[in-house]
């Protein structure tokens, strides 16, 4: 049986993935760059600056590094404006029940997110005290699909990677989990990812025994 569950944040714990989309869309519209939900799929789990590079593939305009930093900062300002209204009700369906069930079974829980806004978000939704470890975009050099964030989370929990399960809504996150030699569970937008070993539309339907079984 697995000993720890590492949760992605945006799109798994909380609906902030929609805010990321809205903020990038506003920036892209202002810069007259084509952007849609399909391109947005590629940004899930990917760092802010890498996301910007993916968006900029749709334009012939060239930006200096400093301009790119400014664009990323502008997107983050729009995003943080949207975060102001975030609260406990934005926790995705089934999440609180899963966290309770895992706590009851004394399974360790962690966050493994590429987001530098993780601390702010966890506070706003009232989940800043519940996780045994939180590893986020401020602690890593390489974002998903690199396994760094999940390996650091396992280390912080004191659990070997093979005994960890990752829950993800991003293809990049599933890749990262597998690269870390962890079991990958896909929810939401990643539910058609056949590389994951358990796929669900949302966490309301999760079977905790199946989540924790080895393999």
Output the known binding site: 8-10, 24, 43-48, 51, 75, 113-117, 144, 168-169
Distance, CA of 196 to chain centre: 16
Query: Which of 16/211 has CB closer to ligand G6P?
Result: 16
The kind and range of the H/E element at 71 are: helix 65-83
Residues annotated catalytic, as ranges = 8, 10
Single residue of 5, 7, 14, 51 touching ligand G6P by CB under 6 A: 51
Q: Cα(191)–Cα(200) distance, rounded to whole angstroms? A: 6
Identify whether the C-beta of residue 179 lies closer than 8 Å to the C-beta of residue 163.
no
Q: Which partner in ligand G6P, Mg ion, none is near 51 (CB below 5 to 8 A by kind)?
A: ligand G6P
Q: Considering the rule CB under 5 A, would residue 170 count as an interface residue with Mg ion? A: yes
Task: Decide if residue 112 touches ligand G6P (CB under 6 A).
Answer: no
CB of 67 to ligand G6P, least distance (A): 18
Sheet containing strand 198-200, edge to edge, reads: 133-135, 108-112, 4-7, 164-168, 183-187, 198-200
Q: Residue 44 or 108: which CB sits closer to ligand G6P?
A: 44
25 binds ligand G6P (CB under 6 A): no
In the list ligand G6P, Mg ion, none, the entry touching 117 (Cβ below 5 to 8 angstroms by class) is ligand G6P
| Helix/strand/coil for 135 | strand
Q: Which is nearest to 117 in space by CA: 77, 157, 155? A: 77
Q: What are phi and psi of 67, to 5 degrees?
A: -65, -40
Separation CA 164–CA 147 (nearest Å): 13
137 binds, among Mg ion, ligand G6P, none (CB under 5 to 8 A by kind): ligand G6P
Q: Distance (Å, rounded) from C-alpha 134 to C-alpha 126?
A: 14
Q: Least separation, in Å, of the C-beta of 98 and ligand G6P?
A: 19
Residues 55-94 that bind ligand G6P (CB under 6 A): 76
Q: How far apart are CA 215 and CA 213, in angstroms?
A: 7
Using CB under 6 A, pick the residue from 13, 78, 115, 206 that binds ligand G6P. Answer: 115
Q: Binding segment for ligand G6P among 46-54, 94-102, 174-182, 205-213 (CB under 6 A)?
A: 46-54
Q: Which residues bind ligand G6P (CB under 6 A)?
A: 10, 17, 20, 43-48, 51, 76, 113-117, 137, 170
């Amino acid at each position: 049986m697995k000993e720890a569950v590492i949760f992605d944040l945006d799109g798994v714990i909380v609906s902030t993935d929609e805010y990321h989309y809205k903020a990038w869309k506003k920036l892209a519209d202002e810069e007259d760059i084509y952007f849609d939900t399909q391109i947005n799929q590629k940004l899930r789990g990917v760092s802010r600056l890498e996301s910007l590079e993916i968006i900029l593939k749709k334009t012939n305009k060239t930006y200096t590094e400093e301009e790119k930093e400014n664009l990323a900062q502008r997107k983050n300002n729009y995003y943080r404006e949207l975060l102001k209204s975030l609260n406990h009700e934005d926790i995705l369906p089934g999440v609180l029940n899963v966290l309770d069930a895992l706590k009851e079974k004394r399974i360790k829980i962690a966050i493994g997110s590429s987001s530098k806004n993780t601390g702010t978000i966890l506070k706003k939704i009232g989940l800043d005290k519940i996780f045994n470890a939180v590893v986020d975009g401020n602690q890593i050099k390489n974002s998903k699909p690199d396994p760094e964030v999940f390996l650091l989370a396992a280390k912080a929990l004191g659990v070997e990677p093979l005994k960890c399960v990752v829950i993800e809504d991003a293809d990049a996150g599933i890749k990262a989990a597998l690269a870390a030699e962890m079991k990958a569970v896909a929810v939401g937008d990643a539910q058609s990812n056949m590389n994951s070993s358990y796929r669900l539309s949302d966490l309301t339907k999760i079977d905790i025994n199946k989540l924790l079984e080895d393999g």
